[in-house]
Structure formats: structure tokens, C-alpha cells
Amino acid sequence: MNPNTNTELVDVVDEDDHVIRVVTRAEMRAHRLRHRGVFIAVQHSDGRLLVHQRSFSKDVCPGLWDIAVGGVVASGETYDTAAVRELAEEIGVADVAPTPIGEGSFSDEFFVLNARCYRVVCDGPFVFADGEVIAARWVNRADLDDLLATNSVMTDSVALLLGPGLITVAE
């Protein structure tokens, strides 16, 4: 995890996505403040989905598997810019433009956020240089269902991408 993560500035937003104020990421996490996030489904050209395991050093939900690349939108950053940044930081993909596929909101014991969801088709190769990802693999629908049954998956990306049916995973 980037040592400057806790001092990064984040826009606190209302349900309509209007900026209320700017706080540090640490304050946003400590007080569970509504913020902006991006979620990017990375799919192989054959329809399989890239899933990855989060580093055990992550500040929230360490070690869980995730079905999306993504993260917190920085203060003043657009959703689209954040999606491009997250693809580059987390998996080393800088030459593929993410396609917007939906938006929504999510709330649980860890997060309250407004989200934009994206999809990219990219067969790799991937580079996990920043240490946020410790394992990754391609899954088909049966593999994904098995992973979801373990309850070791980030619930925000599942709710935002699979819940409304924004992505379809190959059988």
C-alpha cells in the first residue's frame, strides 16, 4: 500500500454526488463518510473475468478476493480519470480505455459510496507493481460461483457489477 494513502485527499459527497467537503482518506475511513469509487471489470476476450486477491496490507478488507479493479476517486479527480489511474496502478494496464457500464451506490459496515462501473476487455499481460494485488486468475461463471460461495469476496464490487447484471461471465 502506498505510504501516502492515508493523507490522500478525498471528496465527501452526498447521495446526489455533490461535493460537501474534502477530507483525508484516513478521516473518510475512520468516520465511514460517503465518497466516490470506481469499479472496473476486466474481461478476457473469451469472456472470462479477472479476479484478484487484495494485499493483506490493505486498510480495509485485507486478503479478500475482488471481481473488479478499482478504488477511491481522489479529490477533484473525475470518475473516468480515476478508472484509468486504477487500471494502471493495480494491474499495469495503460493502453485500454475503460467503457462506462453503469453507476450506483453501496453501503455496508466498511463503505458508503457512490460508484461508477466500467468494463475493459484485455487479455494481459498484467503487472502488479504497487503491491495491492497478491494473486490473480481468470474465472468462468462456475469458478466465479464457487468463489462467491466462500464469502471471501469484496461485497461492494459484487453488488455493483453482478447485482444489476452489468457484466456477463462466460460459462
Output the average pLDDT for the chain: 94
In a domain, 40, yes or no: yes
Q: What confidence tens digit (pLDDT) does each residue in 135-152 have?
A: 999 999 999 999 999 979
* Confidence (pLDDT) at 59: 83
Mean pLDDT, rounded, for 76-101: 96
CA nearest neighbour of 129 among 88, 83, 68:
88
Q: Which of 111, 28, 27 is nearest to 66 (CA)?
A: 111
CB atoms within 10 A of CB 142: 11
How many structural domains is the chain composed of?
1
Q: Which domain holds residue 97?
A: 34-162
Query: Between β-strands 35-43 and 112-121, what pairing exists: parallel, antiparallel or unpaired?
Result: parallel
Residue with cell 477533484: 76
Residue 92 lies in a domain: yes
Residue 9 lies in a domain: no
Is position 86 within any domain? yes
Element (H, E) at 39: strand 35-43
Q: Does the pLDDT at position 109 exceed 80?
A: yes
Is 28 within a domain? no
Q: Is residue 54 part of a domain?
A: yes
| Residue 38 within a domain | yes
According to the model, what pLDDT value does residue 54 have?
A: 94
Mean pLDDT to the nearest integer, 148-157: 93
- Could you read off the pLDDT of 35-84 as tens digits, one per residue? 999 999 999 999 999 999 999 998 889 999 999 999 999 999 999 999 99
pLDDT score for 1: 44
Let me know if residue 43 belongs to a domain: yes
For position 89, which CATH number holds? 3.90.79.10
What is the distance between the alpha carbons of residues 49 and 29, in angstroms, rounded to a whole number?
Answer: 29
pLDDT at 4: 60
